[in-house]
Amino acid sequence: MTEQSRSAYPMSNAREQSLARQRVVAGSRMRLERFLQRRGYQPVTTPMLEPTDLFLKKSGGELAARMYSFTDPSGRRVSLRPEFTSSVVQAFVDGDLPGPLPQRWCYSGPVFRYEKGGDSGEFEQLGAELIGAGSVAADAEMLALAVQGLTVLGVRGHRLRIGHVGVVAAMYEALGLSERSSMFLMGSLAALRSGSESPEDVRAKAAQLGLLAPEANEHVSRITRAMAPEDAAEMVRSFVGQGVAGSTGQRTPDEILRRYLKKLRLADEPGAFEKGLALCGELARAAGPAARVRGRLARIASRFRIRKNVLAPLEGVLTALEQYDLRGVPVVLDLGLARGLAYYTGLQFDIEHQRIHGTHALGGGGRYDDLIGALGGKRSTPAIGFAYGLDHVARLLPAGFGDDDVDGPAQVLVTAQETAFSEAVATAERLRAQGIPAELDLESKSDAAAAKYARQRGIETIMRVGQDGRVAEQFV
């Protein structure tokens, strides 16, 4: 064999493997798009190139460091999209996605992020966004979609990991911690759980960041945080007296006073921070099967004298999720879950598989109720979404994986009063299993509102489910 043939063979083999992988990704995309459309999610497209600022408004610095950005000929800073959610939300804010709320959208295509370790910077992503629904029923629908979509592909061995940044923030707030310290401790949960940082490491970092008030100033710090700014300034001025009468360097006495007050008001009492750090350790150790961890979280709240109703949002989601058949997929509760994007406000989740190692998950998402306002929305609108990394999903599928034709949009709207919601979920799931695309009403609309919504969505049939399980059918 010649040198040329020896080098050409592996190149040809690599090409064939790449093409085979692309076919598997395409097949999984088609099947997942069909799955989402059966549940009322309509396809939407977004630009591949967007203003850089769109992705920075709520994403935090972690994403900014991984974006492919440049200046276009007009002088604008633009980036290849690193994710879809911000683009979909911006289209909604701009009025490019008309229609009644809630709106269900799905998307697929390449995203671009720098990855350490030599991985390609281009990845295939597919996901869904549910805009205008803030209920636990909406949270449960999104969780069920993420789990069931993989089951439809034939994936086995995946599990759902659930966190809730809103619940954790409320627990720290109940301890009297500042927002800065709360965010710092939430960001430390994963490191404490993995053992990469000790409580002493976390405490030292907090001190370096100025999160801890010196013990000598502890009482002053507590008092000034509870006072109006002008009253706090007057109190400190009376204590200090002539100590700031003359200017120091280039700063006036008032400037020195303002900086001192700001430092006091942002810092936490050492005692309060220690309670927060102890809670952080408890939460880091509490991850595990949902059935077991639910009770443990209630006991943790009791030990820290936090009212148990702080856990109500998480309990509500788990109860609503019980209405769906997850086909035995394990559900793990982990309040230390910290997804990279900074705009999540409530529920967070990952879909994991033991064959996908490291920091990569098959997919994940969460609730981002503040993003629409941050991108220019005139009124607060709740929203939740998730996405799969199709390149990772494809690794779990056999070679030659394909798909048949894709169904059209939802044909049936299933609605019920709130007390019969579980029957409505079961009815929608039965229709989908029979190949009939069905959308679930998450708001228990009145008959007139449901008919109006169906007409606007182009849905021809409404199925109303009674508490006895009987179904009344109406053609719109």
Does residue 102 contact residue 132 with C-beta atoms inside 8 Å? yes
Q: What is the pLDDT of residues 169-199, one digit of tens each?
A: 999 999 988 888 888 998 888 888 888 999 9
DSSP 168-215: HHHHHHHTT--HHHHHHHHHHHHHHHHTSS-HHHHHHHHHHTT-B--G
> Distance (Å, rounded) from C-alpha 337 to C-alpha 186?
9
Count how many Cα atoms sit within 13 Å of the Cα of residue 148 in the half-sphere of its side chain.
Answer: 19
- What pLDDT, on a 0 to 100 scale, did the predictor assign at position 405? 41
Alpha-carbon 94 to chain mean position: 22
> Distance (Å, rounded) from C-alpha 326 to C-alpha 143?
10
- b/e map 136-166, b = 16+ CB within 10 Å: bbbbbbbbbbbbbbbbebebeebbbbbbbbb
The letter for the amino acid at 78 is V
Helix (H) or strand (E) holding 391: helix 390-394
- b/e map 111-134, b = 16+ CB within 10 Å: bbbeeeeeeeeebbbbbbbbbbbb
The letter for the amino acid at 442 is L
Vertex 289: Cα angle to 284 and 294 (nearest 5): 75
- What pLDDT, on a 0 to 100 scale, did the predictor assign at position 101? 96
**Residue 55: how many other CB atoms lie within 10 Å:** 23
Considering only CA atoms, which of 386, 407, 400 is closest in space to residue 30?
A: 407
Helix (H) or strand (E) holding 56: helix 52-56
Considering only CA atoms, which of 458, 453, 414, 410 is closest in space to residue 435?
A: 410
Averaged pLDDT, groups of 10, the chain, 476 residues long:
40 68 90 94 96 86 85 95 96 96 97 79 96 97 97 94 94 89 88 88 88 55 53 50 46 53 54 90 92 95 94 97 94 84 86 80 94 92 97 90 55 90 91 87 92 90 88 85
Domains of the chain: 23-172+306-394 (3.30.930.10), 193-280 (no CATH), 412-475 (3.40.50.800)
- What pLDDT, on a 0 to 100 scale, did the predictor assign at position 187? 87
